[in-house]
Amino acid sequence: MLKIILVTHGNLAKEMLDTASQIIGKPADDGFATFAVTTTASVKQEAEKLQKELATCQDGAIILTDIFGGSATNISLTASKDLPNCHVITGLNLSMLLTAMNSRKKLSAKELAEKIEADGKRAVINATELLIKGL
């Protein structure tokens, strides 16, 4: 089964997973992991820790990070660079995580990565323009 790993600055990963679990109504199973990146984190050392986690992912992994170009993404890309069945997707939002939670048992790593990216983009809406000014 695919592993979903959230890698973010501070405690965002843990809090996002807790929030998504509340919405779904059940805690995330052991197919999920979170990594907190601090301001003192070494890309090399943190990437080595993440590589150990990725080594247990027989069916592949999806790594969701908070922002492109940030330490969390750099660590994730370094750790997964030699793993063809591992996908790093940046711009983590709650919609992306809910998609991952609801679809990871049904799709391949590549299919799930594509769905997470598409659903995350679809979730970004200027509600003011759409609902208030559009009426």
68 φ, ψ (degrees, to nearest 5): -65, 135
Structural domain containing residue 102: 3-132
Global confidence as pTM: 0.92
**pLDDT confidence band for 39 (50 / 70 / 90):** confident
Measured from the Cβ of residue 77, the count of other Cβ atoms closer than 10 Å reads: 17
Instruction: Give CA–CA dist 19/29, Å, rounded.
Output: 14
CATH (domain of 45): 3.40.50.510
- Pick from 117, 43, 114, 37: which is nearest to 80 by CA? 43
**pLDDT confidence band for 27 (50 / 70 / 90):** confident
Mean pLDDT taken over the chain:
92
Average pLDDT over residues 27-44: 87
Q: How many domains does the chain have?
A: 1
